[in-house]
């Protein structure tokens, strides 16, 4: 059992707090924002994540998980302190480390008077050099102690996917520990005792880069798949999924994450790739591949508009329904959702846009107020001239032609190849990568 403090009770912090507590550790999750802390302490998660609600209540019942706004006090009592605060994007793509620095200062204050050796681990996604250049000085300044000698310092990136975050935290596919020195790595090891996953220990900068390299590569795979889909459409009569299946038989190619669609969104890929490009630029390196990955991702939602226009002509005055507003199925998160540029492009063309999502309706309304939000699928489709399926909620797979019978038009653009062709008799399907 390790006494753990999590600083930042957002998506990452909460999931790890629950996972560490259920693994038998004593966890205090601290956040300067009193509102979410009060909600979480009552056993209600502040965002949608499958299984989290139950797991949070279970962890609270064991009394091994508690919540506080006292970051200094909680970190002073812990053996391992995880920094899980957000690192938002600045307009130029670089990341803002303001919250991280503030959190590190509070933790430094917390560990100032402690006797034993505690370890601070950065889980927030930060560019190489940040932990040594910003976190370490902040910790040392307020603690009056030296990293490595008096307390441990590590970078321990997370690889959680929304929708399976809890499972990813409990059974990670790997544990990467970037350590300031050997003693730091040794101090963090007990937290992962009993977790059977491959481990890699590196220096701080390498671990920071591993997180970015992973997300940049996955984003590149998605943009590659999207380009392939566009090329399949240009040649005509080729299904991109069949192409990927064939490619995937080559053992050098992993076919996962090559599902073409209208682009990647979410709180991580777009932000992380932009940050890496901006970080390279600031250091005199102009990225080529990653810039192209982003450029294609900006254009990809417009493919749905093109397919709709090809089928029904100019969209001015037409009513277009978007099915799926979150950045991916299974999530209520609309951050960087490709449905946002898609809706804006439709509105710019003079269409009226109605959207429906099983979980993300209110968040989307706040993001694009000009879009009408339908309370259910049938009202979204009622009187629509065109329907565009944007994300991959599993329930879209169950749709049949009869679900679309309330539409004024008969054109459905499938941006994810999720509808079953055989069930769509009488519907004019326009399929991306078809």
> Which residues form the catalytic set?
268
Nearer to ligand UGA, 108 or 261 (CB): 261
Nearer to ligand UGA, 158 or 332 (CB): 158
Q: Write each residue from 108 to 137 as x if it is in contact with ligand UGA (CB under 6 A), else as -, in one continuous string.
A: ------------------------------
Longest dimension (CA), the chain: 74
Nearer to ligand UGA, 268 or 325 (CB): 268
- Figure out which of the listed residues 82, 159, 396, 404 binds ligand UGA, where binding follows CB under 6 A: 159
Residues 6+ apart with CB under 8 A from 228: 240, 243, 244, 258, 260, 433
In the complex, the smallest distance separating the C-beta of residue 330 from ligand UGA, rounded to whole angstroms, is 9
As beta bridge partners, residue 81 has 5, 120
Nearer to ligand UGA, 138 or 166 (CB): 166
Q: Which two tokens stand for residue 346?
A: 């439709």
Q: SS3 helix, strand, coil % of the chain, rounded to 5? A: 45, 15, 40
Helices then strands (H, E): number in the chain? 17, 14
How far apart CA 98 and CA 104 sit, in angstroms, is 10
257 binds ligand UGA (CB under 6 A): yes
151 binds ligand UGA (CB under 6 A): no
In the complex, the smallest distance separating the C-beta of residue 161 from ligand UGA, rounded to whole angstroms, is 4
In the complex, the smallest distance separating the C-beta of residue 244 from ligand UGA, rounded to whole angstroms, is 9
In the complex, the smallest distance separating the C-beta of residue 329 from ligand UGA, rounded to whole angstroms, is 8
Strand (E) or helix (H) holding 80: strand 80-83
Annotate 267-293 with b (16+ C-beta within 10 A) or e (fewer). Answer: bbbbbbbbbbbbbeeeeeeebeebeeb
| 136: Cα within 13 Å, side-chain hemisphere | 20
Q: Contact region for ligand UGA (CB under 6 A) — 74-82, 153-161, 192-200, 312-320?
A: 153-161
222 binds ligand UGA (CB under 6 A): yes
Q: Contact region for ligand UGA (CB under 6 A) — 86-94, 230-238, 254-262, 357-365?
A: 254-262
Is beta strand 175-179 parallel, antiparallel or unpaired with respect to 152-155? antiparallel
DSSP alpha helix (H) spans, 331-389 = 339-348, 361-367, 377-381
In the complex, the smallest distance separating the C-beta of residue 141 from ligand UGA, rounded to whole angstroms, is 29
How far apart CA 119 and CA 99 sit, in angstroms, is 19
327 binds ligand UGA (CB under 6 A): yes
In the complex, the smallest distance separating the C-beta of residue 407 from ligand UGA, rounded to whole angstroms, is 25
Q: Contact region for ligand UGA (CB under 6 A) — 83-91, 92-100, 181-189, 258-266?
A: 258-266
Nearer to ligand UGA, 136 or 259 (CB): 259
- Figure out which of the listed residues 36, 152, 265, 355 binds ligand UGA, where binding follows CB under 6 A: 265
Distances (CA, A) of 249 to 12, 121, 260, 434: 35, 39, 18, 20
Where do contacts with ligand UGA occur on this chain (CB under 6 A)?
158-162, 215, 218, 222, 257-259, 261, 264-266, 268-269, 327-328
């Amino acid at each position: 059992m390790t006494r753990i403090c999590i600083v930042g009770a957002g998506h990452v912090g909460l999931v790890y707090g629950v996972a560490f507590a259920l693994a038998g550790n004593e966890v205090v999750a601290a956040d300067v924002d009193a509102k979410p802390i009060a909600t979480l302490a009552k056993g209600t998660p502040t965002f949608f994540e499958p299984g989290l609600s139950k797991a949070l209540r279970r962890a609270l019942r064991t009394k091994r998980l508690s919540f506080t706004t006292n970051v200094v006090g909680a970190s002073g009592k812990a053996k391992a302190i995880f920094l899980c605060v957000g690192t938002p994007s600045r307009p130029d793509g670089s990341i803002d480390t303001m919250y991280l620095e503030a959190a590190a200062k509070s933790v430094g204050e917390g560990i100032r008077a402690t006797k034993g050796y505690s370890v601070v681990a950065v889980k927030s996604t930060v560019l190489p050099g940040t932990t040594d250049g910003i976190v370490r000085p902040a910790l040392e300044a307020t603690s009056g102690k030296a990293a490595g000698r008096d307390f441990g310092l590590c970078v321990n990136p997370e690889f959680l996917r929304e929708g399976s975050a809890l499972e990813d935290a409990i059974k990670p596919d790997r544990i990467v520990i970037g350590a300031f020195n050997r003693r730091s790595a040794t101090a963090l090891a007990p937290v992962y005792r009993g977790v059977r996953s491959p481990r890699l220990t590196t220096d701080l900068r390498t671990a920071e880069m591993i997180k970015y390299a992973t997300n940049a590569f996955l984003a590149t795979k998605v943009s590659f798949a999207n380009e392939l889909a566009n090329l399949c459409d240009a040649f005509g009569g080729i299904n991109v999924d069949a192409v990927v299946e064939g490619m995937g038989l080559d053992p050098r190619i992993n076919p996962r994450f090559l599902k073409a669609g209208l682009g990647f969104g979410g709180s991580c890929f777009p932000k992380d790739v932009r940050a890496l490009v901006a970080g390279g630029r600031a250091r005199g390196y102009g990225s080529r591949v990653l810039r192209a990955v982003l450029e294609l991702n900006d254009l990809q939602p417009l493919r749905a508009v093109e397919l709709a226009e090809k089928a029904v002509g100019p969209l001015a005055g037409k009513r277009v329904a978007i099915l799926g507003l979150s950045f991916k199925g299974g999530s209520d998160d609309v951050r960087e959702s490709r449905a946002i540029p898609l809706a804006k492009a439709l509105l710019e063309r003079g269409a009226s846009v109605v959207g429906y999502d099983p979980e993300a309706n209110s968040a989307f309304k706040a993001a694009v107020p000009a879009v009408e939000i339908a309370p259910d699928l049938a009202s979204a489709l009622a009187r629509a001239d065109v329907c565009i399926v944007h994300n991959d909620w599993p329930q879209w797979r169950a749709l049949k032609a009869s679900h679309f019978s309330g539409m004024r038009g008969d054109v459905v653009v499938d941006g994810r190849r999720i509808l079953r062709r055989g069930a769509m008799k009488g519907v004019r399907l326009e399929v991306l990568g078809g």
